[in-house]
Structure 1
């Protein structure tokens, strides 16, 4: 198989990937998709988001009978391929483009045959010339999210009103967006109380509607956004027994210059109201909006004055302290139920109360605090979770042995920290270790006899002087996930290699750390996920033979500026590889003989990094 990274055309050889289930070519300059894609009988997801040069899909596309998710949002298709109604398994269809009168693609009636749809967007609705009720939206009981879009403005367009009325969905619908609607009024079904499952409604750029319908009678509505409706003058209020908008959480009014009158009365106490560029509405300060009352039986509390710490309510479980210069010495003895303590932005705080009894402690932006007790002090026997961020400038070496019950330790932005020391056998419960942005850290858990047998996850990020991983790293027998990011001085792994139970390895932006066979990755039978990003400046081809284990399931390559090709011999051994992601490898000119075991192939160029995450694009937001 051969694909240039510029991918102007998805080639015929794509048909060789018989097990492919997931294909993402979003944000690429692809201009044509080969009809041979129809031979990928197991394909379930196709993402072609913002492919600005792609104008149509092949006529064979509708033969992808197993396809469940198709997302073409932002791609300027002029029409849909004929026969879309045969794709009975489609659950997500974003976007169905209605072609103009000269189009020869699928008509809106083909939607009537798609009975499994759950998420649907229909655009270019100004082109509808047939009976839109043939889309059978009212019979699609699984449809929960719907977007209806017009892209041409025609004031008082009677056809738009007819079309929207005919596109009445099933009453199970939960989320609805109507955009660019050209009618002067909304259909009656929009405010039918039978739509008892409707929780989100967004009316955008419905320029020619003069009045908002009585939306308050939608019984379950939680989020209402009205945006860019230039012509609307006022609200219509219903007479509802229990009051309008009784479940509303958020009301957002944006760019409605003619909207007059009052914001609906009697909104729930917890409702958030946003008003932007609606000059005819009252300012929010003019409303007597109630504030939710605070329960007198507090389980959590925030204080910003040291005097408040001397009279805390009994039974307090969680406490957040911000901006205090000192803490009372009896803080813990006076509050025996306290479990979680957050200390934030106490810039002048220097000392910490003795006999700490909390289980979770979070410290941030307390630069002068000398929190860690000296080695001759008794251990802190209660602490389970500890986070220290941009704090504790006096801290140079963190003594793990003083925290025998610690399970998670997260340290970031501690400029003077140089090491994390043992003896580790005194912290047998430690599971997660995360160290970020500690510029002077050179090593952790080094020395003879040191190993952490229960640590499952290690994250090391942006430690510019870090040089040495633990010598006994291979004896961390429970370690499953190892992530090393932006450590430019780290040049090798320990001589003993990596632990045999490791399942995920991520190395990013470590310019001196290039994968080699002497790492012994091929012997790690449980290693199923490998990510390599940035650095590796001398790596032209990847992977070399017997570098990776044959059981590898997921491989991600990103920002490898020198990478020109994938090595077919190295790939051929990866008979279990199901998912391959290649991101921003500008020099890559070809992909030859990808493993036939692939079920997911994602090729993303640099601009996609500024977009939404690849795997989270099925919402309507």
Structure 2
């Protein structure tokens, strides 16, 4: 890149170069000609910033504009090491290094600029990432690393004090966040009062790191953490030895961590957790005993946890919980204690939990808006308890678990549906033959679905005039009667029928 170019654009602020294999920074020695340049991004430029001889290091500092804020190196295949003089770029705040396959080591870098706020490293085989992330980087707020096989831990001693966001993906040799030996010595130092381990970390996202065993081998996660997302880390068995959740934690999502047996041993009364999601943790058996102390909890979801046995004796918090979703927990034997006390509960879903055979003695909270029961053995006691008690229920979905039901609602046992219903879905009732006439009283009903009810063949003489959507699928006898000019056509003529 010659002097004639840079002299022609003295006010250039951002420069992106792509696919120029022979371009270098020679000719940019008069860096005052591009003193306005804030962003530089060479991409697929194989010669740019290639191995720099020691005698050229000082010249390189002159070639890079000193007001540079953003530096992005992408697909620079001959980049063998980062310039030693990067730390002299006093305005640099963001650096991104992606797909630089010949970059050997980060450990040789004297240091990155102290005011750096963001580091992104992607698909680089270079060793020594922990040399970049150290406690003296007091301005660093975001660190993202992906597809780096050499990474075993992120920081040698401790995370930078002001880092708020940490994203780690596809680092198959990552074992923990901080080096095991150093973190043990640091904890001993903290316990003796000679040091202080502080961090302002708020967001932790780790996914597809197959060797990750624990987040921290010693100590605890910073109390400032607000959001944790961990996905597909099959060897993760522990968060931290002490097992406490950060008090500021608002959202916790754990997916496909098959060795994880417990989330936390204890929960502080002032923990701010609002969303709690567990999915695909095959060995998870128990939840924290103090789960009911999570007074801010609004959403709780546990899915595909076949070893999950039971909820804690104290049940779930009753103050703000609005969504409870339980799916594919084959060994779960009972719903949480005190279900009727969940007065804020609006959405309740129970799916594929064959081990639950008993219905709560005091029933469900009566102000639920949405209820979905699928392949569970609580339908009969639920019907006997009385769906009509759910006076705010707008959406009802029932699938399976009702093999002996021949008519719905079951008028013979005095069963009634709440008049507030807007949507009714009936699925996989193998012996259901008729829809009872009491459905005509559901004056708020707008959607009616029947799926896989092979014996269903009777409708009442009329449907509520409010219905504007009818779905029938896998019900051959009824479908035949609902064809145009067939027996039930006059009943549904004003409704747009949908084919499967």
Q: Is TM more than 0.5 here?
A: yes
The residue that corresponds to 2:455 in the other structure is 587
Asked if the contact 2:260–2:281 (Cα under 8 Å) also holds between the matched residues in 1, the reply is no
Instruction: Work out the CA distance in 2 between the residues paired with 1:340 and 1:300.
Output: 15
Q: Show structure 1 runs of 5+ residues with no match.
A: 1-268, 270-289, 609-621
Structural mapping, 1:94-113, within 5 Å: none
Query: Match for 1:572 among 440, 445, 467?
Result: 440
- Tell whether the 8 Å contact from 1:400 to 1:420 is kept in structure 2 after alignment: no
- Structure 2 distance, partners of 1:452, 1:319, is 38
TM-score of the two chains, using structure 2 as the length reference: 0.56
Pick closer, same or farther for the CA change 1:452–1:325 going to 2, 3 Å: farther
Give the distance between the partners of 2:475 and 2:455, measured in 1 at CA. 16
Structure 2 gap segments, 5+ residues each: 1-40, 42-72, 77-92, 97-116, 166-201, 477-500
SS at structure 1 position matched to 2:287: strand
1:388 is aligned, of 254, 259, 268, to 254
Aligned to 1:603, the other structure's residue is in SS state strand
Give the CA deviation at 1:309. 4.8
Shift of 1:350: 1.8
**In 1, Cα distance between equivalents of 2:382 and 2:156:** 54
In structure 2, the CA distance between the partners of 1:593 and 1:401, relative to structure 1 (3 Å rule), is: farther
Matched, 1:442 2:309: yes
| Cα displacement string for residues 531-569 of structure 1 (whole angstroms, at most 9, x for unaligned residues) | 012332112211124432121111111222221111113
Match of 2:431 in 1: 562
Alignment of 1:70-85 (within 5 A): none
SS of equivalent to 1:401: coil
SS of the residue 2:319 aligns to: coil
Alignment-derived partner of residue 337 in structure 1? 164
Aligned to 1:427: 294
Give, in whole Å, the separation in 2 of the partners of 1:508 and 1:457: 16
- 1:535 and 2:401 equivalent? yes
8 Å contact from structure 1 (residues 566, 592) kept in 2: yes
Quick check: 1:458–1:482 contact (8 Å CA) kept in 2? Answer: yes
TM-fit CA distance, 1:329? 6.2
CA distance in 2, matches of 1:513, 1:325: 50
Mapped to 1, the partners of 2:309 and 2:389 lie a distance apart of 29
Residues 1:368 and 1:581: Cα distance change in structure 2 (over 3 Å): same
Confirm or deny that 1:461 pairs with 2:282. Answer: no
2 CA distance for matches of 1:522 and 1:442?
31
Secondary structure at 2:384's aligned position in 1? helix
Distance 1:328 1:550, change over 3 A: same
8 Å contact kept, 1:303–1:309: no
| Pairing of 1:22-61 with structure 2 (within 5 A) | none
Instruction: Give yes or no for contact 1:435–1:461 (8 Å, CA) kept in 2.
Output: yes
SS at 1:421 equivalent: coil
Match of 2:209 among 339, 343, 346: 346
Whether contact under 8 Å (1:371, 1:392) holds in the other structure is no
Indicate if the aligned counterparts of 2:164 and 2:203 stay in contact, CA closer than 8 A. no
Rounded to whole Å, the distance in 2 between the matches of 1:463 and 1:355 is 29
What residue is the counterpart of 1:452 in the other structure? Answer: 318
> 1:484 corresponds to which residue?
350
- My pick for the range that moved more, 546-555 or 591-600, is 591-600
After TM superposition, the structure 1 stretch with the greater mean CA deviation from structure 2, 342-351 or 323-332, is 323-332
1:287-298 equivalent positions in 2, closer than 5 A? 296=95
- Determine which of 524, 545, 552 is the counterpart of 2:421: 552
**Could you list the per-position Cα deviations for residues 248-282 of structure 1 after superposition, in whole angstroms to 9, with x for gaps in the alignment?**
xxxxxxxxxxxxxxxxxxxxx9xxxxxxxxxxxxx
Q: 1:326 aligns with which of 116, 134, 153?
A: 153
Aligned twin of 1:524: 390
**Is contact 1:551–1:576 with CA below 8 Å preserved after alignment?**
yes
Q: Note closer, same or farther for the CA distance 1:592–1:425 as it changes in structure 2 (3 Å cut).
A: closer
Separation of aligned partners in 1, 2:141 and 2:234: 27
How far is 1:475 from its partner? Answer: 0.6
2-side partners of 1:316 and 1:600: how far apart? 53
Go from structure 1 to structure 2 and tell me whether the alpha carbon gap of 1:291 and 1:582 turns closer, same or farther (over 3 Å shift).
Answer: farther
Note the aligned Cα RMSD (angstroms).
Answer: 3.4
User: Matched residues in 1 for 2:374 and 2:249: separation?
Assistant: 32
DSSP 3-state at the match of 2:416: coil
Q: Give 1:262-281 correspondences, 5 Å limit.
A: none
Aligned-residue offset at 1:369:
2.1
Contact 1:341 1:360 in 2 (8 A): yes
Higher relative contact order (CA 8 A, sep 6+): 1
CA distance in 2, matches of 1:539, 1:320: 56
Alignment of 1:121-270 (within 5 A): none
Contact 1:346 1:365 in 2 (8 A): yes
Equivalent residue number for residue 410 of structure 1: 277
Q: How much does 1:296 deviate?
A: 4.3
- CA positional deviation for 1:292: 11
The alignment partner of 1:488 has SS state of: coil
Deviations 1:180-212 (A, max 9, x none): xxxxxxxxxxxxxxxxxxxxxxxxxxxxxxxxx
CA distance in 2, matches of 1:517, 1:607: 23
**Distance (whole Å) between structure 2 residues aligned to residue 606 and residue 309 of structure 1:** 59
Partner residue of 1:369 out of 225, 236, 240: 236
Q: Is this contact kept in 2: 1:483–1:507, CA < 8 A?
A: yes
Alignment check: 8 A CA contact 2:387 2:417 kept: yes
CA spacing shift, 1:428–1:302, aligned 2, 3 Å = farther
The SS at the match of 2:276 is: strand
